[in-house]
Amino acid sequence: MLTSSLLTILLIVISFLISLFGSIVGIGGGIFIVPILITFFGYPLELAVGTTMFSLIPSSMMSTFLNKKNGNVDFKMGVLLEIPTIIGVVIGSFLLTYFAPKNLEITFSILVFLLGSSFFVKRKQQVSKQSFFGKLNHLKPRFIIKNKKKNVAYRVSFQMVLFFGLLSGTLAGLFGMGGGFMKTPIMLKVFKIPSKIATATALFMIMITSITGSISHYLQGNVLIDRTWPVMIGFTFGAIVGHKISTNISASFLEKLIGIALIAASMVMLMNFLNH
């Protein structure tokens, strides 16, 4: 039987590895650490969520600071997507009082799996017809966001920002998960934002979510420092190392890692459904 000290070290190492991967692909890692805390370390659900939310604050801040220095964080896009996401979380929580989303959970896990798999499908070199999302992204009002440091620009439809922000937030409220893992593929697939900018911006949005969410969880007594600090240490150092690794990863390989993260997230959701 493992001693308390060994369990603490093990929790730090696991948190470090999850944060390292989550920082590279822009999902933070909350969707993976919560079930581990519950299943293997005996955390109650509320405490596991509160611990994760609080631990994401320093790690997402560190990621945002480091990515800002490289010019990869699009603050304008992050705020535009995060505002409807917060509203969507409220809507999802409200809908939760009217029906149980268990049947939707397995459907959503399948959709996330298919979305992750799409990152491994080889694209045709030149497609004459514009994609479905590309056409939707022409809806007005729309504007162009420019990143002068990276010398890139991309079109953003305000209606699409509102729709996908509300969608990811509502799903997060319904299924009780952060929803951060949806932000990166939305920016990649819908708005055609370069992968490194998309992942860095998603981590910035996780910073906003974790700060606002932590206040609520702390007031409800779901944040206990003696149960939180190992995860926080692992997450923070994982974010630092993850950033260093991500700077040496090609955009094509990064997209494959994002696909792996989505497939893994769908498996976690499916296991949660089966456990319920």
Q: How many CB atoms lie within 10 A of CB 249?
A: 17
Any alpha helices (H) in the chain, and if so which ranges? 4-25, 30-41, 45-69, 75-96, 102-117, 132-136, 158-175, 183-189, 195-219, 225-246, 251-275
First to last CA, the chain: 28
Cα–Cα distance, 59 to 236 (Å, whole number): 4
Q: Could you tell me which residues come within 8 angstroms of residue 233 by beta carbon, excluding any fewer than 6 positions away?
A: 12, 15
Q: Which two tokens stand for residue 50?
A: 């509160």
In this prediction, residue 86 carries a pLDDT of 85
Pair 47, 222: CB distance under 8 Å: yes
Sign of the alpha-carbon torsion through 50, 24, 183, 82: positive
Please write the tens of the pLDDT for every residue from 44-79: 988 988 899 899 999 999 999 999 988 999 999 999
CB 75 within 8 A of CB 207: no
Residue matched to tokens 């933070």:
28
CA gap 92, 109 in Å, rounded: 17
Position 233 scores a pLDDT of: 97
CB 196 within 8 A of CB 251: yes
Contacts 24+ apart (CB under 8 A), 145-154: 145/74, 145/76, 145/77, 147/71, 147/74, 147/197, 149/71, 150/71, 150/72, 150/194, 150/197, 152/194, 152/197, 154/191, 154/192, 154/193
Q: What is the pLDDT of residue 127?
A: 47
Contact assessment for residue 165 and residue 81, using Cβ atoms and an 8 Å cutoff: yes
> Do residues 122 and 128 make contact, with C-beta atoms less than 8 angstroms apart?
no
For the chain, list residues with pLDDT below 70. Answer: 1-2, 93, 96-97, 99-103, 123-134, 173-180, 276
Strand, coil or helix: what is 142?
strand
Give CA–CA dist 206/224, Å, rounded: 21
Report pLDDT for 77. 93
DSSP-derived secondary structure letter, 124: P
